Structure 1
Amino acid sequence: MSSASDGLDTSVGVYIDNVYLGRPGMALADLIDVDRVEVLRGPQGTLFGRNNSAGVLNITTRKPEFTFGGTAEVSLGTYGYNQERISVTGPVIDGLLAFRVTGFNTHRNGVLDNIKTGIDANSVGRSGGRVQLLATPASNLTIRLSGDYSQEDDTCCVSATKLVLPASLSATTSRTLRALASLGYVPQRSLDFTQNNSPQNMKTDQKGVSLQVDWDLGFATATSISAWRYWHFNPLQDSDGTPLDVIQVNVAQTKDDQYSQEFRLASRPGRFNWQVGAYLFHQRLKDHFILNQFGTDASAFYTTYLRLANPAAAAVVIAPGSQYLDDVDTSVDSVAAFGQANFDITERLTVTGGIRYTRDKRSGVSDTSIVGTPYAATSIPFHYNVSVKDDNVSYLASASYKLADDVLAYASYSTGYKGSGLNLNSAVSAGTPLVLSPEKVKNWELGLKSQFFDCRVTINLSAFATDLSGLQANIVPTNGNRSYLANVGDVRSRGVEFDAFLRVTDTLTLSGNGSYNDAVYKRYANAPCPVGVSGVCDLTGRPLFQAPRWIGNGTVDYHVDLGNGTRPYALAQISYRSSVFGTADAGPYSRIEAYALANFRIGAVLGNGRYDLSAWINNAFDKQYFQNLSTTAIVGASPFAYAGQLGSPRTAGATLRVNF
């Protein structure tokens, strides 16, 4: 929970209805009425939107329709789970103006026991809605206006302790454990409960408006997309991760105000087709952080911690309620022009070229202050005022060849770019520069897309090679101090991917996808060392953190048409992810083990498709797995444990969907 990530752009861009979401947390709201989801891998930016160095998740919702209809859905399940969704569409003025209104409400009780407060952690509470209008004032003109609002109130994101570090690891680890024990707390592994004593929750408010105009000019279609979005992120975290009152809370309030304008001109389909455009983006983020609010146990803990090393050390006096505050104001302005063209040299051979010019300016101000009498060694006030400008040209070149009517081979080369970052928190204490260098990507891909036997079999294969220079990452120090940004060297990634679909019979289909990715640090000489190792380490050749080598997903779908609009079905899904390191130092204690999850659903479509009733179970075998993992430490002291957020346990329930 820090302002670190606000100094960076995202590597993987998320778009909803052609609108870029400026912060990753914006994409966590529940999505309803989704029409399609596209996953675009590799550098993007020659066709639309912002420049994204690692890929795009492009989500499109259903448009308003001129025929009245809708859906209503209710789900009930374990842990008090209930979810209600509704979508209604229809004409306002027949043939001229249509509407669509959607809404959702989701609630689930906490799934992690808090034996200190009695309030279960990691609950879910989300609600929101969207209103759309679609106007067709002329046969060649469509106007789509959309407004949405959502809110979230969760007891997130409480960690479970995977392991407690041995006292023999280092003298400072031993001191931390002994200082905690002197106050009556002995850390222990706890995957089923937490003992945090401070309130912990996450509240967000998000809203936005977008206007898309499409005008068919005959030779081409002109598109304008204007958008505004606002996101208020207000989490409250227990800073020390213990039942003690050493550091009470960590508050991180972020207000994101962003505007975007995009223009595109796309030719009609033909032997030579093209698309050009321009993109403007402005974002302002205002952060207010209570980094450390010291409690009644702070003086005793730090005094004991120091005197275990030096018995003559003076007593530490910290007034309860003392705070270390940080206010950060960041702005981003980006202007870009892009274009891409396809040319069919023959009926089988097509070549594609694309180019993008991007100019970015990022500015930021950071002010910290101390309220009360905090422990001087943990808190150093500072003021930063910094800005940076970048420009970049990225491009795409590819060729595809039809080996047969349903078999396409292709090869591509593309470059990507993510602009400079600002280190607006602990840059001085961390010894890192205020300005991070841009992140640049080169990507090669060879692939094959094929269908056989009247489309009953689909097989897509690809091999990729990616070289990334100047990887930007958020580094979490092992001493409990604030995270900071750094260029962590160069990364090399090599791998293969596949997608497959098989219609075994008219009632049974099998599908799956997977990837192998060998991602390592190509150069990372001055890296942070794992816990227990002093100085700096050379991680060159070591695996990239949070990058699983193997990922796989499989689905079995069986359905039977009994006539009279009755169709029972069964669905089984399994997913697998190999082990990863949770932290950039690739230390052995941060290893997240491999896991596989299984989900099942049985149900029936009834009444000529009007009703769909199903029962489901997710994480059917109740696998405990970590989504992330990092050190647990009290600021200014050595870490004493590794903890992270667990994935959801086994849940089961039923869903009724009504179409009207």
Structure 2
Amino acid sequence: MRRLSLRLSALTGAGAAALCASTAYAAPDSAPNWRTAATGTATSASSIAVDAADAADLTEVVVTARRTAERAQDVPIPLSVVSGDALERSGGYTLVDIQNRVPNLVAFNSNPRNSSVGIRGIGVSSAADGLDTSVGVYVDGVYLGRPGMALQDLIDVEQVEVLRGPQGTLFGRNSSAGVLNITTRRPSFTPGATFEVSLGDYDYRQFRGSVTGPLIADRLAGRLTVFRTDRDGVLKNPRTGVAGNSIGRFGVRGQLLFTPTESLSARLIAEYSDENDTCCVSVVNQVFDPAISATTRRTLQAFAVLGFTPAVSQDVYDANAPQKMRTDQKAVSAEVNWDLGFGDLTSISAWRYWHFDPLQDSDNTPLDILQKNAAITKDWQWSQELRLASKPGRLTWQTGLYLFRQKLKDHYVLNQFGSDAGAFYTVYNRLSNPSAPVVNIAAGSQYLGDTTAITESWAVFGQANYDLTDRLILTAGLRYTHDERHGTTVTSTRGTPYGPTSIPFNYDITVDGGNWSYLVSATWRLTDQVNAYASYSTGYKAAGLNLNSSVSAGTPLVLEPEEVQDGELGLKSSLWGNRATLNANLYWAELTGLQANIYPSNGAKSYLANVGDVRARGVELEGAVEVTSQLTLSANGSYNDVSYSDYPNGPCPVGQTAPCDMTGRPVYQAPRWTAAANAEWRGDLGNGIEPFALVQYSYRSAVFGSVDDAPYSRIKGYALLNLRAGARFGDRYEVSAWVSNALDEFYLATLGSASVPGAGSWGATGQPGAPRTAGVTLRADF
């Protein structure tokens, strides 16, 4: 048992809010002044926002980034906003669609369990039972304990806020890299309904529907949202005949809004969603030269003896076992807002259950060496947050309490051996030792692991803004958090598994501690249209447990916390009579102890480790302009220089001898350049006919796909172009045609070495993005 002192993050300060004109929201006629004074949350952003298509002022985007309804241009945080209306107009509905609209965000899922979200090059690590996420994901104020919980389609969403830099002073769980703050549409006392059907290539079918209205006049309103998305696989499999990377997701969300008095409201949300598809298979991007290492040569020779020769392919994956990703989750949350007169009290109570039951080929070959790899996961989480916020004034403040408990149970089929296992390992061993004994493995033999991880956390926090003058505001925040994490793992075997890859281990580990984190920032109103910001904050990600790695050199049982020191300088400007915005942000962050997943090049099981210290620095630019009442343009871009400032004992690529000095090398999955541009045109032909057209372009520069920055893991930069055109008929009907990835760009989201446990790496495999697809969408609003 080991106990560590933990540090928690503070909400970062200054920055520039992102405004894409097609994503903007406008405030009501009684728009707030240059800095909204309200700090309570009794009135949420989603309850006061209206569609930017009906407004000419691009500066009145309302967000809840600081747990209060404020204009985005007034919030001293590097912040991008994508509205639900903008997602619907463009056809977007996933986190990857969000990634392609904002700077410095990386979102992908190698499977629903191992999904990753990173900001500014920090946070892209595989899921682990004993590890928090570097980027916190929140839905309607509720923290999601695993990124995979957010993989359901983003349907009936009010808006998505991407907060860059460490967050913690006001958010429930501290996040060292940033936050995704997702809010869904609330029930309305005005009756309404929306139905949408999309059809496209690969038998793509998506249905979205929502109905809202009063159940008891002025007292109780409800909202029901249903979605289903299906698409055939896009990668052929000649062995099974079942194409890979299909989509199959379903979800339903029910809400009640209760307003018994003018000073009290309660919102209850219950939801269920599931996934059943062939998600996340990879293609062979490179077959290694046998001369790269002795183990690679022996692995390829053993393959050949068993009749398999790997080949590079972009549209075929060759595996003999079926691929199934099966996930279901259910959740209930209640938000209560109470106006106490002197302040506003908010309570958010939540429970969530997440279940993952996959089936996937362990060896990624058509040989029956390893039949199955599965991590059957059951995750329960409970959270309670209480916040008390002052009324508007020269001094405004918030204080609160946060409680969180998560229990996770995993049953791992670490390896299930097939009918070719004994022959493969016998040939592999005899290529280096001709007298090696025959390896006898009964088909179906298993190497198993059972893990339980329990996390408990509580925090108290406070933050205050003081108007020192009419043009200068000072902000300070302080938070104390206590975390405790306990985990156990026990392995076992069935049958006659291969001994060198079935190492027994039994872990029982606890880590706990407390942390103080803080924020200081200043906001200057340089003119009525220009605000400047500066801040310094500390960030934190709790210590972790390495619960799923076999005992071997370099696999620590306890990971030190991530600790961040972050500085921000930002400028937000409103131009041309509030018909344009131009925002800029500079940042410099120093992080110690980056937590990441390492995949050994010898085929051994992956493990978690602190992979050195990191320095991230760069600039983010975002702007939008309403050229005419019919044409809106927006663009953003970022330069992100993130590298290991101290990592002398890093992992090595295949063919190199450890250790490898990674100091000065770029951090993996961190594009140096990102850029996006959007153009939206809306016309009027009279008689209620309004044609429209949208063009979306995004670019991401090359990145490395693995921690060791191996040359074979380098993912080439790529650009994507999406097109959509259609017409609105009156206030009710809309039809559009669309093309995604119009240039049919081949690109990879992941890339790393492929190996057979107990043997050597034989090539590089990666998950490709979707090819060009086209279709039509029909929508009706009532």
Same-fold status (TM-score > 0.5): yes
Q: Deviations over 1:271-314 (max 9, x none)?
A: 21111111000000000010111111111110110110011111
CA distance in 1, matches of 2:166, 2:519: 9
CA distance in 1, matches of 2:294, 2:175: 44
> What does residue range 264-343 of structure 1 map to in structure 2 within 5 Å?
264-343=387-466
CA distance in 2, matches of 1:443, 1:246: 48
Question: Is 1:225 aligned to 2:348, yes or no?
Answer: yes
Q: Deviations over 1:441-463 (max 9, x none)?
A: 11101010001111122100000
Q: Deviations over 1:337-383 (max 9, x none)?
A: 11111111111111111111111000000000111111111111111
Contact kept, 8 Å, 1:45 with 1:338, in 2: the verdict is no
Contact kept, 8 Å, 2:503 with 2:551, in 1: the verdict is no
- In the other structure, the counterpart of 2:217 is 94
CA distance in 1, matches of 2:388, 2:479: 15
Question: Is 1:500 aligned to 2:628, yes or no?
Answer: no
Identify the match of residue 735 of structure 2 among 591, 613, 617: 613
Give the counterpart letter for 1:502 in structure 2. V
Helix, strand or coil at the partner of 1:305: helix
- In the other structure, the counterpart of 2:90 is none
Cα displacement (A) at 1:431: 2.8
Helix, strand or coil at the partner of 1:173: helix
Contact kept, 8 Å, 2:318 with 2:366, in 1: the verdict is yes
Gaps in structure 1 of 5+ consecutive residues: none
Cα displacement (A) at 1:67: 1.4
Q: Which moved more, 1:313-322 or 1:174-183?
A: 313-322
Give the counterpart letter for 2:359 in structure 1. L
Cα displacement (A) at 1:43: 1.1
Gaps in structure 2 of 5+ consecutive residues: 1-112, 115-125
Helix, strand or coil at the partner of 1:79: coil
Question: Is 1:632 aligned to 2:754, yes or no?
Answer: yes
Identify the match of residue 513 of structure 2 among 390, 396, 401: 390
Q: What TM-score do the two structures reach when normalised by structure 2?
A: 0.83
Contact kept, 8 Å, 1:4 with 1:485, in 2: the verdict is no
Contact kept, 8 Å, 2:550 with 2:605, in 1: the verdict is no
Helix, strand or coil at the partner of 2:359: strand
Change (3 A) 1:427 1:325: closer
Question: Is 1:368 aligned to 2:502, yes or no?
Answer: no
Cα displacement (A) at 1:391: 1.2
Helix, strand or coil at the partner of 2:371: coil
Contact kept, 8 Å, 1:267 with 1:275, in 2: the verdict is yes
Helix, strand or coil at the partner of 1:9: coil
> What does residue range 328-477 of structure 1 map to in structure 2 within 5 Å?
328-477=451-600
Contact kept, 8 Å, 1:458 with 1:500, in 2: the verdict is yes
Cα displacement (A) at 1:484: 0.7
Q: Deviations over 1:366-404 (max 9, x none)?
A: 000111111111111111001100211111111011111
CA distance in 1, matches of 2:196, 2:510: 49
- In the other structure, the counterpart of 1:261 is 384
Give the counterpart letter for 1:201 in structure 2. K
Helix, strand or coil at the partner of 2:523: strand
Question: What RMSD in Å do the two structures reach over aligned CA positions?
Answer: 1.1
Helix, strand or coil at the partner of 1:299: helix
CA distance in 2, matches of 1:357, 1:498: 33
CA distance in 1, matches of 2:338, 2:772: 49
Question: Is 1:107 aligned to 2:227, yes or no?
Answer: no
- In the other structure, the counterpart of 1:653 is 775
CA distance in 1, matches of 2:131, 2:703: 23
Helix, strand or coil at the partner of 2:153: coil
Contact kept, 8 Å, 1:267 with 1:274, in 2: the verdict is yes
CA distance in 2, matches of 1:432, 1:80: 45
Helix, strand or coil at the partner of 1:429: coil
- In the other structure, the counterpart of 1:586 is 709
- In the other structure, the counterpart of 2:96 is none
CA distance in 1, matches of 2:508, 2:148: 26
Contact kept, 8 Å, 2:268 with 2:335, in 1: the verdict is yes
CA distance in 2, matches of 1:347, 1:96: 40
Give the counterpart letter for 2:436 in structure 1. A
CA distance in 1, matches of 2:759, 2:127: 21
- In the other structure, the counterpart of 2:55 is none
Q: Deviations over 1:314-348 (max 9, x none)?
A: 11111111100000000000001111111111111
Structure of greater relative contact order (alpha carbons < 8 Å, 6+ residues apart): 2
Q: Deviations over 1:63-109 (max 9, x none)?
A: 11111111000000000000011100011110111100010011000
Identify the match of residue 190 of structure 2 among 56, 63, 67: 67
Question: Is 1:41 aligned to 2:164, yes or no?
Answer: yes
- In the other structure, the counterpart of 1:19 is 142
Contact kept, 8 Å, 2:505 with 2:550, in 1: the verdict is no
Cα displacement (A) at 1:430: 4.2
Identify the match of residue 614 of structure 2 among 471, 483, 491: 491
Give the counterpart letter for 2:284 in structure 1. T
CA distance in 2, matches of 1:132, 1:371: 47
CA distance in 2, matches of 1:350, 1:552: 32
CA distance in 2, matches of 1:481, 1:229: 34
Helix, strand or coil at the partner of 1:177: helix
Cα displacement (A) at 1:427: 5.0
Q: What TM-score do the two structures reach when normalised by structure 1?
A: 0.99
Cα displacement (A) at 1:564: 3.2
Question: Is 1:602 aligned to 2:725, yes or no?
Answer: yes
Contact kept, 8 Å, 2:127 with 2:146, in 1: the verdict is no
Cα displacement (A) at 1:118: 1.1
Contact kept, 8 Å, 2:504 with 2:550, in 1: the verdict is no
Give the counterpart letter for 2:430 in structure 1. R
Helix, strand or coil at the partner of 2:240: coil
Change (3 A) 1:4 1:54: closer
Contact kept, 8 Å, 2:222 with 2:254, in 1: the verdict is yes
CA distance in 2, matches of 1:625, 1:74: 28
Cα displacement (A) at 1:31: 1.8
Identify the match of residue 121 of structure 1 among 244, 247, 264: 244
CA distance in 2, matches of 1:573, 1:595: 14
CA distance in 2, matches of 1:48, 1:303: 55
CA distance in 2, matches of 1:430, 1:643: 26
CA distance in 2, matches of 1:658, 1:555: 25
CA distance in 2, matches of 1:570, 1:362: 51
Cα displacement (A) at 1:4: 6.1
Q: Deviations over 1:609-641 (max 9, x none)?
A: 211211100000111100011111110111001
CA distance in 2, matches of 1:171, 1:96: 73
Helix, strand or coil at the partner of 1:306: helix
> What does residue range 554-569 of structure 1 map to in structure 2 within 5 Å?
554-569=677-692
Helix, strand or coil at the partner of 1:237: coil
Give the share of equivalent positions with the same residue, in percent.
Answer: 61
Aligned length: 659
Helix, strand or coil at the partner of 1:637: coil
Give the counterpart letter for 1:633 in structure 2. S
- In the other structure, the counterpart of 1:539 is 662
Contact kept, 8 Å, 2:416 with 2:446, in 1: the verdict is yes
Give the counterpart letter for 2:663 in structure 1. T
Contact kept, 8 Å, 1:473 with 1:488, in 2: the verdict is yes
Q: Deviations over 1:480-510 (max 9, x none)?
A: 2221110111000110001110111221111
Cα displacement (A) at 1:138: 0.8
CA distance in 2, matches of 1:238, 1:427: 20
Q: Deviations over 1:103-162 (max 9, x none)?
A: 001100000000111111110001110010001111100011110000000102211110
CA distance in 1, matches of 2:460, 2:171: 9
- In the other structure, the counterpart of 1:519 is 642
Cα displacement (A) at 1:208: 0.2
> What does residue range 74-223 of structure 1 map to in structure 2 within 5 Å?
74-223=197-346
Determine which structure has the larger strand proportion and give its number. 1
Helix, strand or coil at the partner of 2:129: helix
Q: Deviations over 1:204-257 (max 9, x none)?
A: 001100011000011110000000000001111100000000111101111000
